[in-house]
Amino acid sequence: MSNLSLMVIDPSITHPEIESFNKIVEDCPFPCTYHLPVLSDIDSISRSLPHSCGIIILGSAASVHDRSDWQSVLGEVLEKAMSIDMPVLGICFGHQFLAYQLGGKVDYLWNKEQKKGTREVLIKANGLFNSNKTFNLIYSHQEGVVECPNDFDISASSEMVNIEGIDHRSKAVWGFQTHIEASWSFAQRQGIVLDEYERSDRDGKMLMQSFFDKI
């Protein structure tokens, strides 16, 4: 473990979420590497996989239906990671990508309208978080997972979105639609005020720490 790092993949197509990466680094108990497969080096994630202990796939304005070259590379990395039981966490686009890549369905939720803000999400006891608990979390998206892939259960839901989270039944693979990693700068761009952010930040850190504990 001492020579391995957590691979954080930022598939941003316009604005790198470096602040969110920095926030992950602050809380993570082991080294992290940062990868921009769209804006920088598409192959860095493949090169870094043998030196990684886990993977986080962040959000993006891209759609899983784009089927871009970088998504093909990311799919290959995901397949290899799962084959060696490496823990994987997908957030927002990352959550959708996991589901789509593994056989689930992703579609527009609100007639292509993008919605953003905070919402209450019920996390159900699962392999990542061992009790039922309601969290207040940040969201910003227009698509969502509408059908779980095989071998996954729904691990979280809300009044707005039925499949807020997915949990693999036998592997350390999880996805969350909400931004449990959100930085204050990201929250500000979504029009979220400080007191809302601070509550979501506390809840998001609890879930992120649960992932760190699985690595």
Return the active site residues. Answer: 92, 179, 181
- The whole-angstrom separation of Cα 73 and Cα 129 is 30
Note whether 192 and 108 are within 8 A (CB). Answer: no
Contact call for residues 170 and 139 (beta carbons, < 8 A): no
Q: How far apart are CA 54 and CA 76, in angstroms?
A: 15
Question: Alpha-carbon distance 89 to 70, whole Å?
Answer: 18
Q: How far apart are CA 200 and CA 204, in angstroms?
A: 6
Write down the residue that tokens 């579609």 correspond to. Answer: 107
